[in-house]
Structure 1
Amino acid sequence: MPLDLTEQERADAGRELVALLDSYERSIPARPIVPVLDREVLRGLREDPFPERGLGVARLFRDIRDKVLPNSTTVAHPRNLAYVLGPPNGIAPYTEAIAAAINQNCNFSQLSPAASVIEQSVVRWLTGLFEWGDGSGGIITDGGSMATLNALTTALHEHCPDFRATGLQAGRAPLVLYTSQEAHRSVQKAAAILGLGVDNVRSVPTGADFRLRADVLRQAVEADRAAGLRPFCVVATSGTVATGAIDPIGEIADICADHGLWLHIDGAYGGLFVLSERLRGSLAACTRADSISVDPHKLLFAPLEAGCLLVRDRRKLADAYSFSSSYLPGGDDSLLVDYMDYGPQLSRGFKAFKVWSAVRAFGVSAFRSAIDDNLDLARYFAERVSASPVMELMAPVTLTAVCLRITTIAESAHDSVLRQLNADGTALLGPVRLNGRDGIRACVTNYRTTKADIDLVADRLAGIAAEG
C-alpha cells in the first residue's frame, strides 16, 4: 500500500482536519480542563495492535475525535492557570502542518536554505530585544531546559579551552556553578548531565522578595576561590517559576565581571516580558549577560516545542558545538547558517517556522498587548486576594505568578482546595511552597483568560475559604 494519499483522500483529510480544528476551537471554553479519563479507551490506545491493513483517513480522524481529544488536557482553556504554559496562537496549527509537509532538516543549509534564514531572522529579532549587536546569535531549542544545558556547555568550553579534549577528566579542582535556591530544576539537571555534579551547584539564598542575594553570592564565589575551587558560571533568573521574581541581574553581572564568570540568564518564563514597556527597565541589565534562554512557546504562544538560546558572541556557541565530518558538506555561504554547529542535534525540525509565522501574521504589537493583558489580569487577581479577609498573598506579584494562601484552613488543606477547583471545573491551579508554607499558585500566561475568569476563580476560592 503506498504511503501517500490519493487525490480524493487528500481532499477528505483536508476537510476532516479543518472541521476538527474548527470544532475544537469553538469547544475550548466548554471542555473540562483536565479530562475525566476513560481508562478503557486509554488502555486500548496503548495495547491495541496496529492493523495490518490501514484504517483509512475517515476512521483515523474519527478515532482522534472520539478517543484522543476527550482524554487530552485542554491546555488552551482560559482558566488553565497552573503552569507557565499558554495556548497556541491561532495560526499555529496551520503553519505546523506546512512545516510537516516540507519537512526541512534544519542542520545544514543544503537541506534547509529558507529555514536557515528564517531561524536567523527569529534569533536576530530576539537578540535585538536585549540590545545585542551583530556578533550575537543563538539557536531554537526544544525549550528552556535544553537552552540552559547548551548555555552551560558553551560556558564550560569558554572557561576551559581544553574541555572538548579532556572533559572533566583532567584531575583538576572541581568547577563550581552558582544559582538561586529558587532557580528552575533544569540547572541542577544540566549540572548532572554535564558531569559537574549537583554537589558543585551552589544554591544561593534569596531575600524576602525571593530574589538571589548578591552579597551572599559574592561571598560564596570568594570562599570557593580561596578553597582552591574553580567558579565558572552564574545562572541568574529573570522570572522564577514559583513567584516570578527577577534576580538583581546588574549586581550579579558586576560579580561575574570581577571574577571572570560566565553569566547565563534563565529567562524561559520572564525573559520575553522585555516586550512590555512597563517591564523593559526591570530587564535592562540582561544585556550584560553572556547568554539568555527564552521560551517562545510561553509568551509568544507558539505550540510546543519552541525554546531559544541566545548568546552574546555566537562564535563561542560554534566553538562548543562545531565538528567536521567527511560525510557532511561544509558551508561558507555568509547568508546561511549550518545550525548543526550551534547545538548538539544533527537532525532538527523547523521550530523557527511557527515563531516566525505568528509574529508575521499578528505583528509584534499583538504580542505586546497580550503580555500586558496578562500582567493586568495577574495584578487584578492579586488585588482580589489582598482585599479578601480570608486570603493573603505569599509573595510580591512581579510578573504573572500569583501565590496565595487561604487563612481559614490548615496549610495541608490547600491540596484539597486544588482538587476541589479541578473537580468542579472552576480552574486548574497549582501548588506552591514558599518559606516552608504551603499555598496555591496561579500563573496567567493565557491570552484567552479574561477578567470574568479571574473573578470566577477568586470568588470560588473565597467561597471555599468561608466554608473553612
Structure 2
Amino acid sequence: MMDLEEFRKQGHELVDWMADYFKNIENYPVKSQVSPGDIYKQLPDSAPEEGESFPEIMNDFKEKILPGITHWQHPGFFAYFNANNSFPSILGEMLTATMGAQCMIWDTSPAAAELEEKTMNWLKEMLGLPANLHGVIQDTASTASLVAILTAREKYSNYQVNQKGFSSDEHFTVYCSTETHSSVEKGVKIAGIGKKNLTKISTDDNQAMNPEALETAIKTDIANGKKPICVVAALGTTSTTAVDPLKEIAAICKKYNCWLHVDAAYAGSALILPEYRWMIEGIEDVDSFVFNPHKWLFVNFDCTAYYVKDKEALLRTFEILPEYLKTVSRGKVNDYRDWGVQLGRRFRALKLWFVIRNFGVKGLQQKLRSHMELAQSLESWINENEDFEILAPVNFNLVCFRYHPTHINDEETLTKMNTQLLNAINQTGNFFITHTKIKGKYTIRVVTGQTNVEQTHVEKFWKLLISCIKDLS
C-alpha cells in the first residue's frame, strides 16, 4: 500500500506527466484507433492477490489504457459537443479528490453548500437570468431535465404521484420539438409519464420549434381529455444548435398553465455574451433552465447548472428526511440533497469557482467569441467552394455541411461520399468529427469549441478535408 511519502513522490511525477500530456497532446490520435475488445484482451481476468507498485500500474496505464482513450482535450476534437477542461478546473478537481468530501447537506461541508449557492448566483448574473431563479449544480443536463419533468409531474398532480403512485386519470402530456435532445424522451419514460405521451413538435426551416404547431397539439390533447404539464424548449439543439422561439413558447405555456423547461445544455454558455441575450427573451416566464459549464465554460465534466423558479415545488418533489439526516441547521441553509435525484453529492462548485476566478468573465467571453470566429472562418471557406453546402445556420460555433459536387444530386450517392469523407478524416487521427441528419440529408458536424483550439487547427482541418476529397470513389 502507498504511504504518505510515496504518495507525495508519485503525485509530483504524475503532475509532471499531466503537464507533458497537454504539451504533447497533438501527438496522440484524437480518436482512439483500437478495435472492439483490444483493451479488454490485454487486462488480467482476475484482480491481483498482492498489491502492485504505482510505477507498474502507471506503466500499464500508458501502454494499455492510453491507446484506448479518445482525447477530448485535443484541439482537433471537433465532434459531438465538447466536454472541456482547463488548468484551473483540473487543479480544483484535484483538491476535490484530495478532500473526498461528500457534500449531501450543509453539515457535511458548509463551505461546499455555500460556495455552490454563491457560484450559482454568479452564473445567474453572468448569463442575464432573472434574479428569482434558484440554482443548484446537477451532474448532467439529462438529470436536470428529468428533475424538471418530475417536478412538473408532482406540481400538477398536487404531489400525489409521489404519495400514491399513478392512478388511471392523470393523462399527463409533455412536449418538445423533433430536434430536442433524447434525454427528454428518456426523462418522460423514467418519470412514468410514458413515451406515447411525449409529443414531438414540428420545426421550421431553421430546425426551431413551431409555436403554432405546439399550441395546436396542446389544444388537441386538452380536447381529448389529456392534461398538458410540461414543454421543453431548446436553446441550441444537439444536431444544429437551433434556437427555439422562447418568447412565443413561453406565452403558450402561460396560457395553458404548463411548466416551461429550457434546455440550453451547450449554447447556454453563449449567454455570457450580451449579444446573445436575444435567446432568452421571455425568460421571465420560464419555470426551469439548464446549461452545462462542463461543455463550453471549460469546467471538467461533470458540472451542470440548473435553475428553478418555484423552489418549494422542487423541494416537495425530492425532499426526504430520515432520522439519521436530521440536523439543527435544517431550514436555515440549503441542503442540496433535496434539490435533485442524488443523495450523495460531489464538491462540484470548487472547480467552477476556480475557473470563473482564473479566467474572469472577460476571459471566458474572449474564448467563446474566438471559437465562434473560427466557425465563421470555416463557414466562409465552405461557402466559397461550389462543391460544398452549408445545411444549417451557423448560430454559434457549430458548422453543419456536406460535400455536394454540382454534378451529383442523388442522395444515396451523396450520403456514401460524405460517410467516406468523414471516416477518412477520422482515420488520420488528426481530427475527430461526427455526423447528423438534417431533413434526411447526411450532414457533417464540426464544432470549434475545444478549450485550446486555434485558427491553425481549423486551417489544417480544411486542408485535410480538401485532400481527402481526391480519394472519394
Counterpart of 1:421 in structure 2 is 425
Identity %: 27
2:84/2:296 contact within 8 Å kept: no
Q: CA deviation at 1:173?
A: 4.3
Query: Could you tell me whether the CA contact under 8 Å between 2:425 and 2:468 is conserved in 1?
Result: no
Cα distance change on mapping 1:406 and 1:230 into 2, 3 Å: same
SS at match of 2:12: helix
User: What amino acid sits opposite 2:422 in the alignment?
Assistant: L
Paired with 1:243 and 1:413, the residues of 2 have a C-alpha distance of 21
CA distance in 2, matches of 1:330, 1:270: 39
The 3-state SS of whatever aligns with 2:368 is: helix
Report Cα offsets for 1:118-155 as digits up to 9, x if no partner: 11112212333454555432321121111101111111
Where structure 2 has 5 or more consecutive residues not aligned to the other structure, the ranges are 406-412
342 and 86 in structure 1: CA distance in 2 versus 1, 3 angstrom threshold: closer
Partner of 1:405: 402
- For 1:221 and 1:294, how far apart are their aligned partners in 2? 26
Alignment of 1:316-331 (within 5 A): 316-331=313-328
Do residues 166 (structure 1) and 164 (structure 2) align? Answer: yes
Distance change in 2, residues 1:13/1:426 (3 Å): closer
The question of 1:348 aligning with 2:345 is answered yes
Q: Work out whether 1:101 is the aligned partner of 2:105.
A: no
1:307 aligned partner: 304
Distance 2:358 2:276 in 1: 25
2:156 corresponds to 1:152: no
Q: CA deviation at 1:465?
A: 3.5
Letter in 1 for 2:12: R
Partner secondary structure for residue 91 of structure 1: helix
2:179 aligned with 1:195: no
Query: RMSD of aligned C-alpha atoms?
Result: 1.9
Deviation at 1:217, TM superposition (A): 0.6
User: Given the alignment of the two structures, is residue 140 of structure 1 paired with residue 137 of structure 2, yes or no?
Assistant: yes
After TM superposition, the score normalised by the length of structure 1 is 0.94
Contact 2:231–2:260 at 8 Å: present in 1 too?
Answer: yes
Q: How far has the Cα of 1:281 moved from its partner?
A: 2.2
2:353 partner SS: helix
After the TM superposition, which residues 202-281 of structure 1 pair with which residues of structure 2 at under 5 Å, given as runs?
202-281=199-278
Secondary structure, counterpart of 1:457 in structure 2: helix
Q: Provide the C-alpha distance between the structure 1 equivalents of 2:119 and 2:105, rounded to a whole number of angstroms.
A: 17
Counterpart for residue 454 of structure 1: 458
1 CA distance for matches of 2:418 and 2:129?
44
Using the alignment, how far apart are the partners of 1:133 and 1:242 within structure 2?
A: 28
Cα distance in 1 for residues equivalent to 2:360 and 2:127? 19
Q: What is the DSSP-based 3-state SS (H/G/I as helix, E as strand, rest coil) of the residue aligned with 1:33?
A: coil
- 8 Å CA contact retained: 1:130, 1:284: no
Q: How far apart are residue 312 of structure 1 and its match?
A: 1.7
Deviation (angstroms), 1:255: 0.1
Structure 2 residue aligned with 1:28: 25
Separation (CA, whole Å) in 1 of partners of 2:41 and 2:274: 51
| Deviates further, 230-239 or 425-434 | 425-434
Which of the residues 292, 301, 313 maps onto 1:295?
292
Q: How many pairs are equivalent?
A: 464
Which of 440, 444, 455 aligns to 1:440? It is 444
Of residues 390, 395, 413, the one that matches 2:392 is 395
- Displacement after TM superposition at 1:467 (Å): 5.4
* Distance of 2:125 and 2:58 partners within structure 1: 43
**Whole-Å Cα distance in 1 between the matches of residues 375 and 431 of structure 2?**
15
Superposition deviation, residue 278 in structure 1: 2.1
Please say if residues 204 and 216 of structure 1, whose CA atoms lie closer than 8 Å, have aligned partners that are also in contact: yes
Q: Deviations over 1:277-321 (max 9, x none)?
A: 221223333343100111111011111111122112322211111
Once the two structures are overlaid, the 10-residue window that deviates more, 325-334 or 336-345, is: 325-334
Distance 1:44 1:91, change over 3 A: farther
Which residue of structure 2 aligns with residue 123 of structure 1?
120
1:34-76: per-residue Cα shift (whole Å, max 9, x none)?
Answer: 1222878613554442222211222222222332223211111
Q: Which residue of 1 aligns with 2:362?
A: 365
State the TM-score, normalizing by the size of structure 2.
Answer: 0.93
Distance 1:284 1:134, change over 3 A: closer
Matches of 1:318 and 1:452, distance apart in 2: 49
Assess, with a 3 A threshold, how the Cα gap between structure 1 residues 177 and 124 changes in structure 2: closer, same or farther: same
Q: Rate the CA distance shift 1:60–1:234 in 2: closer, same or farther, 3 A.
A: same
Q: Deviations over 1:315-365 (max 9, x none)?
A: 221111111211212354676311111112111111222111111222122
Opposite residue 26 of structure 2, the aligned amino acid is P
2:18 is paired with a residue of what secondary structure? helix
Cα distance in 1, alignment partners of residues 122 and 37 from structure 2 = 48
AA partner of residue 268 (structure 2): G
Distance 1:160 1:425, change over 3 A: same
Query: Which moved further from structure 2: 73-82 or 323-332?
Result: 323-332
Tell me, yes or no, if structure 1 residue 60 matches structure 2 residue 57.
yes
Aligned 1:35-46 pairs, distance under 5 A: 35-37=32-34, 42-44=39-41, 46=43
How far off its partner does 1:394 sit? 0.5
User: After TM superposition, where is structure 1 displaced by more than 6 Å over at least 4 residues in a row?
Assistant: 38-41
C-alpha contact (below 8 Å) 1:41/1:67 kept by paired residues: no
- Whole-angstrom CA distance in 1 between matches of 2:5 and 2:251: 65
Q: Aligned with 1:392: secondary structure?
A: strand
Deviation per CA, 1:412-444: give whole Å up to 9, x if none: 222211110011234211111011111211112
Which SS does the other structure have where 2:322 is aligned? Answer: coil
Q: Distance in 2 between matches of 1:35 and 1:26?
A: 19
How far apart are the structure 1 equivalents of 2:368 and 2:42? 38
Aligned CA distance change for structure 1 residues 67 and 303 (closer, same or farther; 3 Å):
same
| Secondary structure at the counterpart of residue 170 of structure 1 | coil
8 Å CA contact retained: 2:128, 2:277: no
Answer whether contact 2:235 2:279 (CA < 8 A) is retained: no
